[in-house]
Amino acid sequence: MPFPGPQAHHHPMSTHYHAVVWIDHKQARVVYFNADSSEPQVVQSSHPNTHLHHKANSIDSGHAPVDKKFFERVAEAIAHAGALLVVGPASAKTELVSYLRQAHPVTAARISAVEPMDHPTDGQLLAHARHFFKADDRMRSQIHA
């Protein structure tokens, strides 16, 4: 029996998706979306109850140690995105981007922008991301299949 043809390697529809990641040290909210739909998902930190400021022995006080397991789960959650917007209120977003550059350079290469953002509702987050990518897509004048 012959092997299945090229359709076996066909990328799923989700590769056309844009995704936005809102991240702080407690959780990441990942939303995949296209023109018609959106699919939100939450990735919890490995230690969501840790307060950031009580570790007397941390190298630079006031910062939680980088939670690699958390970032790894976020990396898995965004692996299928065609283009990424990374937002968040504090340093977690830049730590995530650094982690992706080291551990997942292919995913890191798809990051369109990193922006500060406070604590939006899911609706605000999605509206901002759609608006961002509309402008971004126009700028890149991508041809959509």
- Indicate whether this model's pTM tops 0.85: no
DSSP line for the chain: -PPP-GGGGPPPGGGG-EEEEEE-SSEEEEEEE-SS-EEEEEEE-S-TT--TT--TTSSSTTSPPP-HHHHHHHHHHTTT-SEEEEEESSTHHHHHHHHHHHH-HHHHTTEEEEEE-----HHHHHHHHHHHHHHHHHHHT----
14-45+60-140: CATH topology: Nucleotidyltransferase; domain 5 (3.30.420)
Model pLDDT for residues 34-69, shown as the tens digit of each residue: 888 999 999 999 875 655 554 444 444 455 568 999
The domains of the chain are located at 14-45+60-140
Model pLDDT for residues 98-135, shown as the tens digit of each residue: 999 999 999 999 999 999 999 999 999 999 999 999 98
